[in-house]
Structure formats: C-alpha cells, structure tokens
Chain A
C-alpha cells in the first residue's frame, strides 16, 4: 500500500463533526459519571440483573439466528427481483426500522396476541399463547431487527459482481449450490455486519417487547425492561444496568469491527 500524507481535516468538517460526536458522547459521559462504581459489582451480582443479562443474550442471539435463516433468503429476493410489487413489499419489510417499536408491538399484539387473528388460532389449535413468554420476546426482537439484516444482505448482493455466479452456473453448479458456495462467501462482510447490527438492535429492544410480550421477570424482562423498572424505584440500579448494556454492546461492536468489518 502506498503511504499517504496525513489527511488534513477541513475546518467546517472538523467543527460539525465534533458537535456530532459530542451529541452522542455527552449522554454516555453523563451515565458514566453517575455510575456508583463502588456498588457496580454488587448490583451486577443481583439475581434479577443476572437473569436479565442472560435472558437478553438469549433473546438477542436466537433473534439474530432467526434473522440469518429468514433474512438471507429475503434479502436475496429483494435484491434480485425487479417487479413493482417487490418494491412495495420491500418498503413494508423495512417498515419496522422506522416505525416506533411500540407501534410494532401493538401490531404484533393484534396479530399474535391471545385474541389476535393468528394468535387466536394458535391458542385454539395448539394451546400456544405468545404474550408474556420468552418466545414472544424473541418474536418482538426479531420483528424490529430483521429489516437491519435484510437491508445489509440486499445491499451486499446489489454490490456483487454477478460474473462469479454466472460462471459458476455455466460450469454446471445448481442455483442452490451457487448461492451457498459462491454468493454467501462473497457477501460475508455484509452478512456479518448485518448480523451484528440485528443482534445489537435485538439486545436493546424495549418498546415492542413491553407492548407485546409484557414484563414478566425471568421470561420477558430483558435488560432494557429491567432498566425501565429500576428507573422507577432505584435510579442507581438503572444507571448500572445502562452501563452494563453499554459495555456489552461496545464490546461486541469493537470485537466484530476489528475482526471482520474494518479489514477487508
């Protein structure tokens, strides 16, 4: 690689960039300076906090796994299909990204709740009710995080040079085999970025979860819900839980970025 002179940052970019950085940084500093570090470990050791942490990790990981299995095909379809209907469908699929999560939770409730049009049948036929269960929390988290994954896949496939796939097929590889042995390896950077994003989004999910899955300690009370509950009774606990979420998320972002995304 050719060595370059250090980049000179144009002053307007430096100034506005600094303000942007401050806007994001200052709240975190606020949280850090309010953190009662002395009682950090004892709060971390509380059984309710530990159960919220493990539940959050479970919900986010299962949700990211579902995103991988369902979102990969969907991203491919959206990228490769040209029809007008697909474009409308694409807008709907991406809707949870911009929709307030509480609206998504309400929609889930009316579809999959005990009296929702699908939920009613689930209850009647299989005796399954989703609200107030961990499965419900996973569905809520997947609902909001899936579009992030689908978009990452779609973008990667759009950027892909189709020559590789076409030569694989001309050499007799089936479309399915081509997808798994040519397309997927080629988009692995986008795929991992999408997985990270959707995992992180699922980890922080609050609005859809509390609306659809309710607040059930041990079953649906993930870290964000635990934080919300703590804020009403013991702000110190809320601050510590916020710090825990930041540490987990930052850890994941740094590890993954350094390992796969930053270095192509």
Chain B
C-alpha cells in the first residue's frame, strides 16, 4: 500500500548512493593507481641498498618504481595472499620456496641469486654487559629475529651449531627492529646482518658466524611485464652489484 509512494525516493536514493559510492571508489583507486612501472618488494635488510638501486634504475631507464620493505616472511605471506607486486627480493631461499610452491612466481623466468650476507653479534655502544663471545650472551638480555624470518633461522641455526640455547628477551619480526632494540640499549646484545651494522653499535668478532651465509634470491611475480626482468638485470649488472657492495653485501658464490 505504501510501496508506490516509497518507490520513488527509494530509487532516487539508490541512484544517489551509487553515484556517491562510485565517486568514493574512484577517488580511492585513483590514489593508488599512480603510474608505477615496477613494484618492488624487498627484505628489510635490503631496504637501504635497494632504495639506491631503484634510484639508479630510474635514472638510467626513466621508468617509475615503488619500493616496499618488510621482513621476508611478511612479504612472502603478502604475495601468497595476492599482494600486487612485480619483483620480490628476499633474504633466503627457503622463504622464496614458499612463494614458488604457491605458484605466484612467474615460471618462465629464472630465480636469480644476487647477493649473500652473514650475521654479526652486536652490542650497544660501550658494550655495557661486557660481551666478548657468543657464550657470554647466556643469561644476558638479547634480541634476535623470529625463526620465521631468514635472520632468525640463521640465528637459531648458529645457536644450535654452537650448542647454546637461545633465550631471547625479545623475538623481533625483522632484522631492523632487532637493531633498534640493541641501539637503544634495551638489550645487551643481538644478532643482525653484517650489512645492518651502524655507527651506533659495537661489533663482536665471531669468525664462526662468517661461514654461515644466507643467499638473497630475486624473482618475477606472475603477471609482471618485461620491465620487471629489466630491473632484475639491473640488480645483477655491475652498477647494481657495486651499490650492493657498498652496503656490505657480498657477491653470491664468491667465497
């Protein structure tokens, strides 16, 4: 009975609603659809080196890139759940395998190994807990990466090799947050990559750590175009390798 009167305003408000919603949606997608040619995801330990590499790549090719960094495990999960990226660079091969298994890596291109890295034991400046060896960290406050991220799997593998049980005060989601906790003096020591050492830290020499290396793979994600391959070629080129070298990364299979 009331329907006839109600239908007019109902239709009109549906129409108005649709217009407003589509405006909103186009505003949102308009913001996210900037003209990026290569969307790169890189492990946290790569963030500084890759920032310089992307800048050099942009200067050379005139293409636009975007760089997103997080712990390798986080990146892998995001890719598996369908995150939009063209290239992914991770801090170990096991994490890349997770993505390969989920069939997110473009099968027509090789996964390249472009760098290697190893851990170092670091303390805050002044080494307040007087740590001189890995064994000295027992009973002290330490921070390490979570076992799920490459620096964490290296840390736990090293502890096992040394026969020492890790009992960290904090298990951090990526290598950069371990570094921060050590720099701030919240922990007495931490295991981070050699390439993440800053002037705000002291490095304790442990030769055994140097032989425990991790390899950095880089891959093209499904649906990416040839510019993604061009970016990987740039990383592998002399120019790309020189930048990585300046940040302390070693060339893979060199030693």
Contact = CB atoms under 8 A, between A and B. Distances in A.
A122 B81 CA distance: 45
A19 B184 CA distance: 46
Given A132-B141, A232-B73, A114 B185 contact: yes
Contacts, number: 79
B65 interface: no
Contacts of A231: 74, 77
Interface of B is mostly: mixed
Contacts of B16: 12
B77 A113 contact: no
B132 interface: no
B13 A217 contact: no
Range of interface residues on A (Cβ < 8 Å): 20 to 34
A233 B17 contact: no
Interface string A12-41: 100110010000000000000000000000
Contacts of A228: 173
B186 A15 contact: no
A172 interface: no
Interface in A220-236: 220-221, 228-229, 231-233, 235
A238 B1 CA distance: 51
Interface in A92-124: 109, 113-115
Most buried by B among A115, A228, A232: A232
Interface in A223-258: 228-229, 231-233, 235
B173 A215 contact: yes
A11 interface: yes
Given A109-B186, A214-B181, A215-B172, A11 B146 contact: no
B148 interface: yes
Return the 3 tightest CB-CB contacts between A and B, nearest first: A214-B170, A232-B73, A233-B148
